[in-house]
Structure 1
């Protein structure tokens, strides 16, 4: 979903399935560092030289925080791609057909609670637009939606009632249930783990910690499906936001950083960390920019590497990318924590094949499946609303070969505000997401007509299993509390969301000595979110004296 963004490595993107990043190698130049001054506080003007690796949300946020103190930091941010934004970028489309000349790819939007993201949007004159999310799951007698009740909901009324009771107890006993996989918790209540698939968060959903499912239904702030409906499971329309044009935003953010003397070096890949103490010495390789700026992996190894020196390094890249470039320089803790992250390679096909969509998804009101009563509760008003307003944005199907595996899809024309949702369905843009190349035999990707495909993108995606919250998240602080001039910031440190990436970058800057923005400090929700992340991932507390 929008809140479940795909982790595209902003350092070395998995453009090809099964590839985790560019390999090291090639010629090496031993020319002196191109950065000014010696290490420590001996940089130009006594400033600390900081290398930020990755120009996605985390890297840009970190560089932005450091750039507010030009007297303290000499900042360089690099990325192997030819653009800033990482997984958040826009693509050109046919304006006459679709109603807009652009659409967002990868990161389309998120939750209304993304206060740090909105802060950076606002600084550059951008704004996210609100939308109430409509979901469509399955087809025929397997069809369910949050807009109106269906035969499937009526059929499973007893399970839904039991689920509502289970959720209440999971909330009361959250300490016990926190890391228990959802599939185990549901079995304890005599419920099928297939019920977890209704959450629509992907194939790994049954292995997610129960705490995540519980919060979806019980938290007024974070709960996408709050409050749980004892008759219909999920009957609200989650308030979401749709992001402005990503490429435009990140390009202006890049220019803003450059105006504040941040060195933004795109088409530059970190291949090796030589040493990190007493200073950080690395090998960097230039990349040849491709037409769409999405430079392929395992390319340009004929270009020479250059050794450069910095005082601090901030890894704003995927965990396995950081582990790879550290190589033998990785400490035991780093090898363990970074190595415990789990990934899958997914592909998004952007297309306009309405025949494919109609075959596999329910995208129009299905009168035969709608029910006007759930027990004694009259649902006529919801059914009438569905008949008039059903335009689902997020579509989910179970794969025929293995119903426990999901395929997900966005009707981008219904979701992204700049597109025309009133166009005929054949003029809508869809993004169908095929999960985990290991399960490629369950995909129906080849059924999409080739002449309807606009673009394909592969993503190297974090799997949010219970193991991630048992063996990775609790120990990120150990990575950041070190004496090797190294800091980690990225969404993988907690949960894959644009807001988490932004907060992580801000926290990395704070750790290195930057202030927290006063505007955000006086935003209660933003401050509390940042304080929690800062303490959990860095073991630090936020001080009002360090705001500006």
Structure 2
């Protein structure tokens, strides 16, 4: 075994999903790496946070804030959580888009979906064209594609824009994002959220996975990463500058300057040296840290990432939700059956109407601003979405005895598996879900409303209409914009800056804003430093890892990690 003095010293800036993944992969080689993780926040998790709420009022003691859940295709995220003793909960992803005559859903056919039958059928054909010619379409914004293929303006504004905006966090920049994202939503096996239907656009109610309590999960992740003794976390420590990346000093080629982030006391700046640095923060922060050390190409590639500022209001204002969204099933929105000639289609529609009358419970909402229908507002019903409101414990539906599919692989049983924790707030659960599980009635639900793109849309916001006494929490977010320029000026160029000057970049912003890509990017950065890919041999996990490694680092997996005659 190598002595401690010969280990590579690695600095990781950021303890979100990407930084934590890099740290975990490096921790598996305690003889080769000495790792320090810096983050200005007091807890790990980045955007994946949990906040406490009043269980006696809302029926649960916490909510997950910022990141709610994911597609079952997100294999790296799920394996990481499960090995730590945390399990996501399956939930039917029902949506409620628009209000009144502009309303549509994936639960039952509505008048709006009937109106756009021709556009919906054409949309499926266009998806196949985009898949075959992805490179040129990656440089085409959605609004241009809709015009090129002569889709109606209403179809784009009422169906396409809300759909993409909600599930990729593209917000009011959706008309300007790469239209290749549309194909990924429906057809990419690692990112797919929906199955296309030529009659209703969405074929069914997809199964989504609601995350367990993220605060506890990331705490367990941190403890597991530290357990091998070669990773140190310096939370409440803010890296201020990268002073040098060029020194050949025996003390290390990377010199950083940092401070202890204490709100009540000014701490003196301190310095530290490392052999390598992984910047697991947003592109703006990377440039700020690099300062004059940034190369010309780094300034161009990182500076091309555009960020927007959104605010999330967590609240309990049902009157507001009813005013702007369709929160309950209303048969007046049913698609007309007069023109349906097929007996089978009529029976399917009638069955959908009956199902909706008993089971309509949206997780996601959007509404369009009447003044500009290309701009939207988004909301979540967290009570419908998150399982703790129905008595699930913070670790999710997992037990210490369950070791299938890598569950509890670390052998450390988290306290969050204690079933009694799911009883918090049980007295408020006087309603029932369609399966008969107790949950809070609609008037006690917790909602989140996201007001998007402060700089260009705040004049449209209805934020003042949410009653002050109904607000629970307010939080501002810095969100990446997936405009088409991102896929022209950043994504294809990441491989030319990754690894230069002993610097690697990790974060979902390098491709697409998803937790799964953040996790994968962290593994890739560690892999490029020589660490093993933690889930080697798991094809579901490796699929996206190989793709990311090629796209963002310009390399294949190492020869010993490849299979087949072409390895």
TM range, normalised to the smaller chain? Answer: 0.7 to 0.9
In the superposition, relative to structure 1, how do residues 129 and 419 fare at CA in structure 2: closer, same or farther (>3 Å)?
same
Contact 1:81 1:289 in 2 (8 A): no
User: Hey, what does 1:5 align to over in structure 2?
Assistant: none
Distance apart, 1:289 and its partner CA = 5.7
User: Hey, what does 2:326 align to over in structure 1?
Assistant: 362
1:285 aligns with 2:254: no
Distance 1:169 1:276 in 2: 45
Distance 2:184 2:17 in 1: 25
User: Hey, what does 1:447 align to over in structure 2?
Assistant: 465
Distance 1:160 1:536 in 2: 32
Size of the alignment, in residue pairs? 492
User: Hey, what does 1:407 align to over in structure 2?
Assistant: 377
Question: Secondary structure of 1:180's partner?
Answer: coil
1:336 aligns with 2:354: no
Contact 1:126 1:249 in 2 (8 A): yes
Counterpart selection for 1:384 from 354, 373, 377: 354
Distance 1:257 1:154 in 2: 53
Q: What pairs with 1:139-288 in structure 2 (closer than 5 Å)? A: 139-191=99-151, 192=153, 193-194=156-157, 195-201=159-165, 202-219=171-188, 222-226=191-195, 228-261=196-229, 262-277=231-246, 278=248, 279-288=253-262
In the superposition, relative to structure 1, how do residues 522 and 372 fare at CA in structure 2: closer, same or farther (>3 Å)?
farther
1:351 aligns with 2:321: no
User: Hey, what does 1:468 align to over in structure 2?
Assistant: 486
Q: What pairs with 1:21-40 in structure 2 (closer than 5 Å)? A: none
Distance 1:95 1:46 in 2: 51
Q: What pairs with 1:278-317 in structure 2 (closer than 5 Å)? A: 278=248, 279-288=253-262, 302-317=266-281
1:490 aligns with 2:507: yes
Unmatched segments (≥5 aa) in structure 1: 1-41, 291-299
Unmatched segments (≥5 aa) in structure 2: 166-170, 391-432, 434-438, 563-567
Deviation track 1:374-422 (CA, whole Å, cap 9, x = no partner) reads 6433111111111111000000000233221110000000011111464
User: Hey, what does 1:320 align to over in structure 2?
Assistant: 284
User: Hey, what does 2:555 align to over in structure 1?
Assistant: 540
Contact 1:393 1:411 in 2 (8 A): yes
Contact 1:196 1:206 in 2 (8 A): no
Report the TM-score when normalising by structure 1: 0.86
Structure with greater proportional helix content: 2
1:457 aligns with 2:475: yes
Distance 1:412 1:229 in 2: 27
Contact 2:506 2:518 in 1 (8 A): yes
In the superposition, relative to structure 1, how do residues 474 and 173 fare at CA in structure 2: closer, same or farther (>3 Å)?
closer
Question: Secondary structure of 1:418's partner?
Answer: helix
Distance 2:183 2:314 in 1: 33
Distance apart, 1:200 and its partner CA = 4.3
Distance 2:300 2:128 in 1: 36
User: Hey, what does 1:529 align to over in structure 2?
Assistant: 544
User: Hey, what does 2:423 align to over in structure 1?
Assistant: none
In the superposition, relative to structure 1, how do residues 43 and 446 fare at CA in structure 2: closer, same or farther (>3 Å)?
farther
Contact 1:45 1:71 in 2 (8 A): no
- Moved runs in structure 1, 4+ residues, more than 4 A? none
Distance apart, 1:100 and its partner CA = 1.7
Contact 1:183 1:196 in 2 (8 A): no
Q: Tell me which moved more, 457-466 or 417-426.
A: 417-426
Question: Secondary structure of 2:331's partner?
Answer: coil
User: Hey, what does 2:451 align to over in structure 1?
Assistant: 434
In the superposition, relative to structure 1, how do residues 258 and 174 fare at CA in structure 2: closer, same or farther (>3 Å)?
closer
Distance apart, 1:223 and its partner CA = 3.0
Distance 2:386 2:90 in 1: 10
1:107 aligns with 2:51: no
Q: What pairs with 1:123-142 in structure 2 (closer than 5 Å)? A: 123-142=83-102
Contact 1:160 1:230 in 2 (8 A): yes
Distance apart, 1:303 and its partner CA = 2.4
Distance 1:511 1:329 in 2: 22
